[in-house]
Chains A and B, each alone.
Chain A
Amino acid sequence: MYAQMIKSTGDGVKSLDEMEPQERAFQERINAGGKIEPKDWMPEGYRKNLIRQIGQHAHSEIVGQLPEGNWITRAPTLERKAILLAKVQDEAGHGLYLYCAAETLGVSRDQLTRDLLSGKMKYSSIFNYPTLTWADMGAVGWLVDGAAIMNQVPLQRTSYGPYARAMVRICKEESFHQRQGYDIMMKMAKGTPAQKKMAQDALDRFWGPALMMFGPSDENSVHSAQSMAWKIKMNSNDELRQKFVDECVPQAEYLGLTVPDPDLKWNDERGHYDFTQPDWDEFFDVLKGNGPCNTERLEARNKAWDDGAWVREGLMAHAAKKRAAKLAAE
């Protein structure tokens, strides 16, 4: 997902009886559906994990602007350009909502930025793939934002108040993103044979990476069990991936496009589609930094940060000057 492979404490989930009174009260509050707020007591693991998860989620929103930003100047019509611009601006907004939630846990914005720029913190693997044609804007909105919605809707009920509130805001806006993507796919799929071919090619390239967004199977992972007990993860990766496939297949059929999986088949018994797992070796390789665009993405973020330094400093100096002038006038 937007936050993949977040490792929590590997100790396994403690039972209520094993907890000290403070932690027990904390866990009971979560079990009862209560919210944890920034000033409340929380286990150090909960805080650390959330910082990593929300931070990675925020970084994904920010880096996620790059593959789509690639097409703003080349959108086929002025309307498509305006829509894409608005969509990419939303992603910046989502990053900011999430950074602000992470900051309530005591980490500083600059620290989070530094950890992204140095490669210490990760962002979603999906954004390390290139966007080669205009149809990719369709596939990204439809599949990538579609997968994000799968994960983010349940997170509106997450136990950490500021995170849940950020998710509510994000989910309200995300539906626009998915629909504008599907709208592009509809236009392309019903266009000339060449356009339809582009749409199919985009689906072919993004299907696997979109399935990877949910992360590898975590049915037996202690990390996952702890995150679920803390309600900072609401569903297993496989559960969400299945839901995503079940939803996308009919949508692809409507477009007249073929999901690139020869073994994709409706399973009457399970009431779900059977499908082929994505290439997990590729996934781990991309996470390690060897995807097609890892270097380019981080370079772009670093360049933006460095090139913006004079603006940040200049505005600070200007604010200080104004403050001094105001003081002198009083």
Chain B
Amino acid sequence: MSSPETKPYPGTQAVEHGKARADEWPLFEIFIRGQHGLSHRHVGSLHAPDAEMAIKNARDVYTRRNEGVSIWVVQASDIAASSPEEKGSLYEPANDKVYRHPTFFDIPDEVGAM
């Protein structure tokens, strides 16, 4: 499998995103939740025959120093990802909505902290 971020590379047997390579364990993306109340965070990927083994391998590859207390594994082919070409249509609408930021509003000092 190729990563959701992958483009095919000529000269290797790279395949379309989501298609399995015949002779390779599928790729899993690994997410770890640390100890300090933050949400799961993407840390990398690894190959494993199935999700159960992916969790076991992720434990060895990504949490050798107490980096996490919870592991999510997702098969890379199951992730849908946006592409850079969509940057405009996805993120530009936010640019003209500056009023979403609290500093847009001037509150007089007399009012106190707000």
Chain A residues within CB distance 8 Å of chain B: 37-41, 47, 51, 86, 89-90, 93, 96-97, 100, 103-111, 162, 165-166, 169, 173, 312, 315-316, 318-319, 322-323
Majority-rule SS of A interface residues: helix
Q: Mark B46-60, 1 if CB is under 8 A from A, else 0.
A: 110110010000001
Asked whether A38 and B61 contact (CB < 8 A) given A108-B21, A109-B47, the answer is no
A315 to B61 CA separation, bound complex (whole angstroms): 19
- A47:B60 contact, CB within 8 angstroms: no
- Within the complex, which residue of B44, B49, B65 is in contact with A316, where a contact is CB–CB below 8 Å? B49
Q: Is B24 an interface residue (CB 8 A)?
A: yes
Chain B stretch 32-56: residues in CB contact (< 8 A) with chain A: 43-47, 49-50, 53
- B61:A103 contact, CB within 8 angstroms: no
A96 to B44 CA separation, bound complex (whole angstroms): 9
- B44:A166 contact, CB within 8 angstroms: yes
B83 proximity list for chain A (CB < 8 A): 39
B15 proximity list for chain A (CB < 8 A): 108
Closest to A309 in B: B23
A41 to B24 CA separation, bound complex (whole angstroms): 27
- A107:B9 contact, CB within 8 angstroms: yes
A93 proximity list for chain B (CB < 8 A): 60-61, 64
- A103:B6 contact, CB within 8 angstroms: yes
Asked whether A39 and B2 contact (CB < 8 A) given A89-B64, A108-B12, A315-B49, the answer is no
| Closest beta carbon of chain A to B5's beta carbon, Å | 4
A318 to B53 CA separation, bound complex (whole angstroms): 11
- A319:B49 contact, CB within 8 angstroms: yes
Majority-rule SS of B interface residues: loop
| Closest beta carbon of chain B to A154's beta carbon, Å | 21
- Within the complex, which residue of B12, B46, B53, B84 is in contact with A100, where a contact is CB–CB below 8 Å? B46
A86 proximity list for chain B (CB < 8 A): 64
8 A-B residue pairings within 8 Å (CB atoms) = A96-B44, A97-B44, A104-B6, A106-B9, A108-B13, A109-B24, A316-B25, A316-B49
A89 to B84 CA separation, bound complex (whole angstroms): 37
- A322:B50 contact, CB within 8 angstroms: yes
A312 proximity list for chain B (CB < 8 A): 25, 49
- A103:B49 contact, CB within 8 angstroms: no
Closest to A94 in B: B61
A166 to B43 CA separation, bound complex (whole angstroms): 9
| Closest beta carbon of chain B to A147's beta carbon, Å | 23
- A107:B46 contact, CB within 8 angstroms: no
- Within the complex, which residue of B9, B24, B49, B65 is in contact with A51, where a contact is CB–CB below 8 Å? B9
A105 to B7 CA separation, bound complex (whole angstroms): 7
Closest to A102 in B: B9
- A47:B9 contact, CB within 8 angstroms: yes
